[in-house]
Amino acid sequence: MKISSKNFLKKKVLVDLSRRDFLKGGAALPLLALGASQSASAAESKLTAGISKKHAQIVIVGAGSGGIDAAARLRRAAPNAEITVIAPNTIHLYQSGQIFVAAGLYTQTDNRKNSSDLIPDKVKWIQDLVTQIDPKNHQVQTEKNGAVKYDVLVVATGAVHDFSAIEGLKTEAFGQSGLASVYLNDTLKGEAVGGEQTRQWLSQIAEAARTSRQQVLFSIPEGDVKAQNASLDVLLLGLDIFRGKGPGGGADVYDNVAITVAVGNEYLIDSKPFDRVLRKLLAKEKNLTLRFGTRLSAVDTQAQKATLTGAKETEELKYDFLHVAPSLKAPEAVAQSELALKEGARKGFVEVDPVTLQHKRYPNVFALGDVAALPAKSGAATRDMAIVIQDNVANYLEGRRLGTRYTGYTAVPVKTRYGREMLIEYDRKGPNPTFPLDPNVPRWIWWEMDLHLIRWAYFELMMRGLL
């Protein structure tokens, strides 16, 4: 059964409240964590600035967080438009919840909803895969339903986890021989096994460390990283598990675990002030080595050997447990289209104006989320982009100036240990915290909100375009 916006509004959800005012209300404060935190300037406009009465065909490619959020918002911002979502997945995954699966606090079923329950009423859903995008002729080609014409196209396909960029690494090897990734999922099938596999291997390493020294390796790729907090979360929660402070308790085997973190970039997150804070936090760990400018270039899963490549040297490292964060690439239909950026680090992703999210060469095309050629790859960034899409698509239809601006806002909620979380928020100008609390201090309240309330806010508010 689909969600009815009308019925939901009858329950007195105040959709016109400023997001910051809403969060400051006692009942809505929990929406802060996991990137549900807000900045008043994150999207510099409101829905009332962008309403369009035009009749138009709006096609949204993708039914992940960005696609469904955009569909719900455009349903209100352009009420006379015919809106079509094209996506093959019957199951929608709350991907951020995989961290809590790895932590042993969620199950896989907690993070799944039927796509049909989330796609808004009065939005047509073509359950199919887009195989080609033809912006010159204003149409997309689907696998089973032929060509679909549009007046406005919104690309929200997300990005592809490119595990194959690491030589010797095959996805079927995950879960075996000490190999896991909390990122491992199949959005087409609606399956996400990475969190559970990661939890199991953390537990096994803690048990093995009772009798022998264990070598643990975390790899973070070069370039843009989806959910920059994810690898850090697994690392820091893993340290708690090794100390016997996880949900299952256990012996303190911390001194028997040696951890190497290979970071492809020269930073942990792409905000200098917060990067310094995280470096200081990890510097306190006597058994942990950070290696910046070093990437995982190859892996021998049977021998459990990793090849690390830096600017000047390459070496092999034996591991008992390897957690892999993958690099990203654009879906083939996007990368092969005229919408794609043709060169540079973000080659293949949709070439949009970083402020308006309008395509730089095709004005009736917009993009949001991970598929946009922008650095921010997070749920918080996608949500703010959806507000920009909401207004600027309506403004485009009316021939108005695209007045809503995406400021580059993102959130990185780093779980520093069980029961504590650091809520990092920033935009292009620097730190941009929502609340007058020191963002460098891990707090129990952010953890509790993230664990108990943000998943609800994601499904019940963000997926209705109300957050």
Contact 40, 20 (CB under 8 A): yes
**Bridge partners, residue 257, by sequence:** 214
Q: Where are the domains of the chain?
A: 41-159+330-410, 162-329
Q: For residue 66, with 0-12 CB atoms within 10 Å meaning exposed, 13-18 middle and 19 or more buried, which class applies? A: buried
Cα 284 from Cα 300, distance rounded (Å): 31
The CATH architecture that domain 41-159+330-410 belongs to is 3-Layer(bba) Sandwich (3.50)
Give the pLDDT confidence score for residue 49 in this predicted structure.
53
Q: How confident is the model over 209-223, as a mean pLDDT?
A: 97
Instruction: Identify the band that residue 32 occupies on the pLDDT scale cut at 50, 70 and 90.
Output: very low
Give the pLDDT confidence score for residue 367 in this predicted structure.
98
Give the pLDDT confidence score for residue 191 in this predicted structure.
87
- Tens of pLDDT, residue by residue over 99-158, are 999 999 999 999 999 999 999 999 999 999 999 999 999 999 999 999 999 999 999 999
Share of the chain above pLDDT 70, in %: 89
- Average pLDDT of the residues of the chain: 90
Nearby residues of 449 by Cβ (< 8 Å), 6 or more positions away: 29, 30, 31, 32, 33, 34
* The pair of three-digit structure tokens given for residue 245, joined into one six-digit string: 């402070």
- In this predicted structure, the answer to whether residue 311 has a pLDDT above a threshold of 80 is yes
| One CATH from 3.50.50.100, 3.40.190.10, 1.20.1740.10, 3.20.20.70 for 162-329 | 3.50.50.100
Give the pLDDT confidence score for residue 391 in this predicted structure.
96
**162-329 and 41-159+330-410 share a CATH fold:** yes
Burial state string for 173-205 with b = 16 or more CB within 10 A and e = fewer than 16: ebbebbbbbbbbbebeebebbbbbbbbebbbeb
* The pair of three-digit structure tokens given for residue 421, joined into one six-digit string: 């979380």
- Tens of pLDDT, residue by residue over 398-437, are 999 999 999 999 999 999 999 999 999 999 999 999 889 9
> For 249, which DSSP code?
-
Least confident range of 38-52, 268-282, 360-374: 38-52
Which of residues 457 and 26 earns the better pLDDT score? 457
Q: Which residue, 378, 416, 267, is CA-closest to 37?
A: 378
Give the pLDDT confidence score for residue 452 in this predicted structure.
96
- In this predicted structure, the answer to whether residue 198 has a pLDDT above a threshold of 80 is yes
- In this predicted structure, the answer to whether residue 1 has a pLDDT above a threshold of 50 is no
Contact 209, 257 (CB under 8 A): yes
- In this predicted structure, the answer to whether residue 243 has a pLDDT above a threshold of 90 is yes
